[in-house]
Amino acid sequence: MQPILANYSASITELKKSPTQLLNEADNEVIAILNHNIPCAYLVPSKLYEKMMDIIDDYHLSLEVAKALNDGEKPVKVSLDDL
């Protein structure tokens, strides 16, 4: 059985009726959209989606920083005033 990764769930039929009402009832939390009681999608409020994208961007940036720091070159110390 596939886990439902949300505190709220709704059927596709409920989603078709009123997505805004679903978000309001879920207090702007993630809603699992079910098809025959199996999650087929997640309805994510825009503010949460934007936060998720920021976290993903920060993660990818940290990978680039780690890669640059471990490339074998000697780091150069620079003050913010020099930039």
What is residue 34's three-state secondary structure? Answer: strand
- List, as own/partner pairs, every contact residues 47-54 make where C-beta atoms lie below 8 angstroms and the sequence separation is at least 24, other chains included: none
The H-assigned helical ranges of 2-79 are 12-17, 19-25, 46-69
Q: Evaluate whether residue 3 is within a structural domain.
A: no
pTM: 0.76
Q: Evaluate whether residue 33 is within a structural domain.
A: yes
What is the amino acid identity at position 70? N
Domain count, the chain: 1
What strands, in cross-sheet order, belong to the sheet with 8-11?
8-11, 31-35, 38-43
Predicted confidence at residue 61, as pLDDT, reads 97
Q: Evaluate whether residue 61 is within a structural domain.
A: yes
**What tokens appear for 31 in the block?**
């809603």
Q: Evaluate whether residue 27 is within a structural domain.
A: yes
Q: Evaluate whether residue 31 is within a structural domain.
A: yes
Residue 1 pLDDT greater than 90, yes or no: no
pLDDT in tens, 2-39: 899 999 999 999 999 999 899 999 998 999 999 999 99
Instruction: Note down the domain range covering 27.
Output: 8-71
Q: Evaluate whether residue 40 is within a structural domain.
A: yes
